[in-house]
Amino acid sequence: LQRLAVGGAEAFYRGELAQRIVDAVQNDPNRPGLLSMQDMENYRARRGDAVCAPYLKYQVCGAPPPSSGGTTVLAILGLLDASDAHRKKRWEHDFIEASRLAFADRNRYVADPGFVEVPTSGLVDKGYLKQRAALMGKKRRPNIVAGTPPGADLAWRDGVSEALPSTSHLSIVDADGNMVSMTTSIETAFGSRVMVGGFLLNNQLTDFSFAPKNEAGEWIANRIQAGKRPRSSMSPTVVLKKGAPIMAIGSPGGARIIDYVAGSLFKVLGLGWSLEKAVASGHIVAMGDFLELEEGHFSEKAQARLKKLGHAPKLAPETSGIHALMRDREQWLGVADPRREGEVTGL
């Protein structure tokens, strides 16, 4: 850290530290890699514009591709808005179906936009989501497939490997109202298990599809390519009201991050729950045919009600670590997920 404080990015991507990273990767006794000094020198951090969409009286903004968090969280909220889920006493079914629809589009279209034509604005387009919401019937839809959002020229397929939870999130606001929502990950616990200079190297390559083509021989959008960034599910999110930031939220949790964040946002912005109640409440995770309800939070009656609608939920512990803050009149409220060791502090 002292070296980076003095030398900045140059000290990391060039010179002695970079050479140590390359040597550690190339000489790893378990699985040597192909990283080179040229790879280190050529890497550039890329700044992208946030992806934003309206939800009720708010503007919600998230990370752009290759993160799938921004588009998918916003798509879920847009679908829930179109179905008037916030007006319904029993909204869980709508949330499940909205998540399934949003994940179908995410799995097909989202990858590194430097390599794949990602219809980012189309995925969160209000008119498109209204059309998709028409598929949300009173019972579970047996088959969910990706739609054709505006700007989607390529019907990419996906064979996805989901991230395991080893991620951190922080939400910060300063005295002037400047806000940061930041998620960082080294992928699985202890990353690649290779340490250099006091820090672990990540194994983020496993966020790529392990196969370049699917069973039908079609190219997969999130396949490995030289210089390509892998798709993630990180969902750092900022909410604005009348142009001013009023909320920051995010979480670790692999692909489940998307439903952790979308569900919490819906409960606060749509249902009017307190931030503390929303963060502590039970999670619903719905991806394709995969449906989890957080154990200890859903009664047998609630489970039976969903089963009657055609769902097959499994009970499981959830690993969210939501960190959120929200403007409440003249003060800021902060909440840390009770499931993890995070905390709230003010200076």
Q: Which of 120, 167, 188, 237 is catalytic?
A: 167
Instruction: Give the span between the Cα atoms of 289 and 103, in whole angstroms.
Output: 11
Instruction: Give the span between the Cα atoms of 249 and 226, in whole angstroms.
Output: 32
Output the CA–CA distances (angstroms, integers) from residue 203 to 63, 89, 111, in the order listed: 21, 43, 18
311, 247 Cβ separation under 8 angstroms:
no
* Distance between start and end Cα atoms, the chain: 24
Instruction: Give the span between the Cα atoms of 77 and 60, in whole angstroms.
Output: 9
Q: Strand, coil or helix: what is 67?
A: strand
Catalytic site includes residue 167: yes
| Cβ contacts of 111 within 8 Å, gap of 6 or more | 65, 66, 118, 156, 221, 222, 228, 231
Instruction: Give the span between the Cα atoms of 313 and 296, in whole angstroms.
Output: 13
Active site residues: 167
